[in-house]
C-alpha cells in the first residue's frame, strides 16, 4: 500500500508498507543530476554524492559506514542525469539509525579540502576505468552523440577539466541550491508504517532549507541524418552502440516503445538475439535498453563482436528495425513481450529496494505514484499496430546515431549500413 504526504515546505514523504518483510529500505532523493549542470560544472552532482560519505559536522566517514554496517545493513548512493539518491537498508528495528545517518549526510556535509583532493582523484580513476571498458565507454559516447554539446550528453562523472575546477566553494554552493525541500523526496519501503516515517523524518522536515525545484537544461536536437562517432583504438573486438532518440516518460507512446524494445532486444527470446547470436553467430550477446527523461528518451542497441563482423551485424540490426517499420508483430509475439514485462515488474517489486526506487522515481518523474496495475492496464491496451506506429515514428534517419570503440575508421562504409527506407 502506498502513502504520500507533502509538507507545507514542499518536502514529500512516501511509504510502501510491506508488513511481511523483516527489513526496511530508506532513500533520500534529490531532483538534481547531470542535466542540471552547466558545462563548467560537469560532474558536480556526482562529486557531491561522493563527498557526502566523507564526513559531516557530527560523523566521520568511518562512523557513517560503521553505524550502518555494525547492524548488518548497507548504505550506498547513485547519481543519474536527473536525480541523486542516498539509500540504506537494514532490519526494520534499525530504521531510526538508518534515517539518522542519511539525514545527517544529506544536511550536514563537510567539504574538507583534503577529502576533496582525494575524492577528485578517485573520480578520475572511475572515469579512467570507464575508458578501459569498451562496453561502458561506448554507452557514454552514444549519449554524447545523441545529445552533443549539452548537459544530457555529458558524462555524469564529469571530465578532468571540470573536476580540477571544482573546489569546496562550488560544492557548497551547489549543495545549498539543490538540496532543498521542494527538490527532496524521502521514501521508505518495507516493514514500516507511514506514521513511523513521518515521525522519523521530523528532523529533516524542520532543518532542510526551503527552496525551489531544481531546473534542468532541455534536450536539443539539430540532427538531420544518421551520425557516427568513432573512437579508434587497436583491438580485435569492436563495441558498438546504436542510439535512437525516442520519446519522454510523459509521452503515451512510451508503453508501445517498452513492448517494442522487449521483442527487439531485451532478452534471449528477442529478434536481435535470435538473429545476431543464434542464427549468424556474430556476437556473444546483443541487447537493447530504453531510457526515458523529462523531455526526450532513447533506445540503445549495443553489442561487442569481432571487428570483421561489424558491418554484417549492423546491417542485420537495421534490417530488424526495418521489419518493425514495415510489418506489425503478431498477436502472439506481442503477448509474449507483454507477459515478460509484466512478470519482470511483479518480480522486481518483491524487493524493498526496488519498491523504494519505484516510488521515488514516480514522484520525481510524474509528481504522483502510478500504481503497477495501471501500468499493466496500459500495456494490455497496446495493439500490434501501435508497435509498428512507434517504429515508424522513431526509427528515422535523423534519430539514429552510431557510436563505436573500434579499430575501424571508414565512416562512409558504416553509414551505408544505417540506411532505413
User: Hey, which residues are catalytic here?
Assistant: 49
What φ, ψ does residue 175 adopt, rounded to 5°?
-60, -45
Parallel, antiparallel or unpaired: strands 237-245 and 297-306: antiparallel
DSSP 8-state secondary structure symbol assigned to residue 238: E
390's grid cell: 512507434
Q: How would DSSP label each residue in 52-70?
A: TTSBBSS-BHHHHHHHHHT
Report CA torsion sign: 340, 25, 189, 289.
negative
Residue partners of 337: CB distance under 8 A and separation at least 6? 259, 262, 263, 329
Q: Using alpha carbons only, what angle is made at residue 223 by residues 220 and 227, rounded to the nearest 5 degrees?
A: 125
Contacts for 269-277: CB closer than 8 Å, 24+ residues apart: 269/336, 269/340, 271/320, 271/323, 272/301, 272/317, 272/320, 275/316, 275/319, 275/320, 276/303, 276/313, 276/316, 276/317
Using alpha carbons, list the distances in angstroms from residue 327 to 170, 252, 333.
53, 21, 13
Three-class DSSP category at 138: helix
DSSP 8-state secondary structure symbol assigned to residue 328: P
Amino acid at each position: 500500500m502506498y502513502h504520500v504526504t507533502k509538507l507545507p515546505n514542499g518536502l514529500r514523504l512516501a511509504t510502501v508498507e510491506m508488513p511481511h518483510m523483516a527489513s526496511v529500505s530508506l532513500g533520500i532523493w534529490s531532483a538534481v543530476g547531470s542535466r542540471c549542470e552547466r558545462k563548467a560544472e560537469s560532474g558536480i552532482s556526482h562529486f557531491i554524492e561522493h563527498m557526502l560519505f566523507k564526513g559531516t559536522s557530527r560523523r566521520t566517514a568511518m562512523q557513517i559506514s560503521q553505524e550502518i554496517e555494525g547492524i548488518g545493513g548497507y548504505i550506498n548512493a547513485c547519481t543519474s542525469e536527473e536525480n541523486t539518491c542516498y539509500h540504506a537498508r537494514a532490519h526494520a528495528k534499525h530504521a531510526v539509525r538508518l534515517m539518522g545517518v542519511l539525514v545527517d549526510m544529506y544536511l550536514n556535509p563537510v567539504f574538507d579540502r583534503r577529502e576533496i583532493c582525494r575524492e577528485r582523484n578517485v573520480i578520475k580513476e572511475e572515469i579512467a576505468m570507464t575508458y578501459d571498458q569498451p562496453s561502458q565507454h561506448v554507452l557514454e559516447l552514444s549519449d554524447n552523440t545523441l545529445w552533443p554539446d549539452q548537459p544530457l550528453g555529458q558524462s555524469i562523472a564529469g571530465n578532468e577539466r571540470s573536476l580540477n575546477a571544482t573546489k569546496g566553494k562550488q560544492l557548497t554552493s551547489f549543495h545549498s541550491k539543490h538540496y532543498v525541500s521542494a527538490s527532496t523526496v524521502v521514501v521508505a519501503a518495507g516493514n514500516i508504517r507511514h506514521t513511523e516515517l513521518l515521525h522519523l523524518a521530523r528532523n529533516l522536515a524542520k532543518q532542510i532549507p526551503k527552496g525551489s525545484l531544481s531546473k534542468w537544461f532541455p534536450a536539443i536536437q539539430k540532427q538531420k541524418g544518421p551520425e557516427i562517432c568513432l573512437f579508434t583504438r587497436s583491438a580485435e573486438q569492436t563495441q558498438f552502440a546504436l542510439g535512437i532518440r525516442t520519446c519522454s516518460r510523459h509521452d503515451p507512446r512510451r508503453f508501445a516503445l517498452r513492448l517494442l524494445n522487449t521483442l527487439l532486444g531485451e532478452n534471449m527470446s528477442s529478434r536481435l538475439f535470435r538473429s545476431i547470436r543464434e542464427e549468424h553467430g556474430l556476437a556473444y550477446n546483443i541487447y537493447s535498453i530504453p531510457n526515458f527523461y523529462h523531455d526526450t528518451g532513447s533506445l540503445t542497441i549495443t553489442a561487442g563482436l569481432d571487428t570483421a563482423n561489424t558491418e554484417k551485424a549492423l546491417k542485420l540490426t537495421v534490417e530488424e528495425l526495418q521489419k518493425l517499420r514495415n510489418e506489425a508483430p503478431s498477436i502472439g509475439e506481442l503477448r509474449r513481450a507483454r507477459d515478460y514485462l509484466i512478470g519482470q515488474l511483479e518480480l522486481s517489486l518483491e524487493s524493498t529496494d526496488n519498491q523504494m526506487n519505484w516510488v521515488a522515481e514516480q514522484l520525481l518523474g510524474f509528481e504522483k505514484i502510478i500504481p503497477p496495475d495501471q501500468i499493466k492496464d496500459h500495456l494490455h491496451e497496446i495493439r500490434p499496430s501501435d508497435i509498428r506506429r512507434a517504429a515508424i515514428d522513431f526509427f528515422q534517419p535523423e534519430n539514429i546515431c552510431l557510436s563505436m570503440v573500434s579499430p575501424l575508421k571508414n565512416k562512409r562504409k558504416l553509414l551505408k549500413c544505417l540506411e532505413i527506407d
